[in-house]
Chains A and B, each alone.
Chain A
Amino acid sequence: MEVYIEVNNLSFYRGERAIYEDVTLQIPKGKITAVMGPSGVGKTTLLRLIGGQVLPDAGTVIVDGVNIGEASRRQLFEARRKMGMLFQSGALFSDMSVFENVALPLREFTPFDATMIRDIVLMKLQSVGLRGAADLMPSELSGGMARRAALARAIALDPDLVMYDEPFAGQDPISKGVLVDLIKQLNSAANITSVLVSHDVEESLSIADHVCLLSGGKVILAGTPEEVRASTDERVVQFLQGQSDGPVPFHYPAMSYQEQLLERE
């Protein structure tokens, strides 16, 4: 297994709160890796650490041989051009049409002329099924369409790595299905390394080659989807089956119920 992203002994704190403590994980090249875990576990933060938007407090993040935490600004921007990121909200630039959104990275980073750029943009839009929506503004798109348009933009420069931040959150079943197919197609067609951050168990397990389960700032399981499904770890079982009580307690920490009820002021 060839490793594309290597996270070693990573610690990251937000204020006093530890998001990650001494986390080590690998993301294999050319595969789809799903990073899963309950909300608030810092899945999106992991993507930001990989993209160098936030820097680790300890440990290293190495992407394709580049240590992101110690890269110079130029190296970092260089590395980012080989990454595409699909943000949760799509993050299309609201003052440009869909076409302009997809064309922007090409205009900034390639020497291509206008016709060439137009062809590439139409090709990318065709692959996400939105060629007909090229002239619409982002505000005119539905949530699922915005995400597909953003995906076209993320792959405009044919990146080696595409990161998906909660691609399925808040989507209807049809959009979910479309996105699942797109992610799978892209990965097999262009041999892209994909990192998928999600808490949608079924969709993620159905397309992932490799799964990392995070909980409480640590990796609790890393392996194939089959290994995840077969796991007997009660934290894994609770997450997969959506049980309301378990290692993640239903009750927010409080004093004893009985004591509080009997309390007199």
Chain B
Amino acid sequence: MTLINYIVTSLLGFIKGLGNSGIFLFQSLFRLPVRPKEAMRLYVRQVYSVGVMSLIIIVVSGAFIGMVLALQGFSILTSYGSETAVGQLLALTLLRELAPVVTGLLFAGRAGSALTAEIGLMKTTEQLSSYEMMGIDPLRRVIAPRLLAGITCMPILSIIFAAVGIWAGMLVSVEWLGVYSGSFWGSMQQAVQFDRDVINGLIKALVFAVAVVWIAVYQGYECQPTSEGIGRATTRTVVLSSLAILALDFLLTAAMFGDF
């Protein structure tokens, strides 16, 4: 009986949280700053801190993952004599799965946690209240630019991740392991379909971006205004967004590639 009670209350709590954060997302996105020039300036600043600052970690991880994939793929494929298929393997795994998922996870750790901490700190130091008392809506001034910047930056980062990964994998397999470059690109271009692989990968990245930024911003906005509360909210952002990415990835993969 108590177990059922517990499940019901936690389920209701979950639905309530989802509803609250949904209203929050809606209000933030559809109340953009009034002056377009100011809005642009706020947005560019956020793209800088969310996107440009995450670029290095994305490029470096992309390069290493591409190189590891090439090495592993080569060592397996070479025993079937099909080492030219390493290009195909590299491009498909990166475009369909690894680029959006790994970028999402890194983005949650790098940009998501920073967003939560920043907004949490603004709440703790009464800056959000201060905007409100000034008659400026903090949702449109503080939250909206961050949401939009995050949602636009992550797909870009995911594309960069895939491109760098493929390029680094090409270096390893063609320059180092001696795969014939014509067959490398040939097998890749034969297997990769622009709409099925590149565009679907982009859609995944976009969905993950919405999930991560939404969670990050909401956790910051709703955190307990103490230093302990900020710490907890930051941890929760990383955990929740990682889980959300992996679960959403399964759903999206099933929807996109599931019809055999």
Contact = CB atoms under 8 A, between A and B. Distances in A.
Contacts of B127: 91-94
B129 A87 contact: yes
A83 interface: yes
Contacts of A53: 129, 132-133
Contact of A91 (B38, B45, B130, B136): B130
A51 B131 CA distance: 12
Contacts of B121: 94
A83 B125 contact: no
Interface residues on A, range: 20 to 34
Contacts of A104: 134, 136
Contact of B135 (A81, A91, A94): A81
Interface residues of B, number: 15
Contact of B133 (A83, A89, A93): A83
A145 to B, nearest CB: 16
A218 interface: no
A105 interface: yes
B125 A89 contact: yes
Contacts of A105: 134-136
A60 to B, nearest CB: 20
A94 B130 contact: no
A77 B131 CA distance: 11
Interface in B111-140: 121-122, 125-127, 129-130, 132-137
| 5 A-B pairs with the lowest CB-CB distances in the bound complex, closest first | A91-B126, A91-B130, A80-B135, A87-B126, A77-B135
23 contacts: A51-B132, A53-B133, A77-B135, A81-B134, A81-B135, A85-B133, A87-B126, A87-B129, A87-B130, A88-B126, A89-B125, A91-B125, A91-B126, A91-B129, A91-B130, A93-B127, A93-B130, A94-B121, A95-B45, A104-B134, A105-B134, A105-B135, A109-B135
Interface of A: 48, 51, 53, 77-78, 80-81, 83, 85, 87-89, 91-95, 104-105, 107-109
Interface of B: 38, 45, 121-122, 125-127, 129-130, 132-137
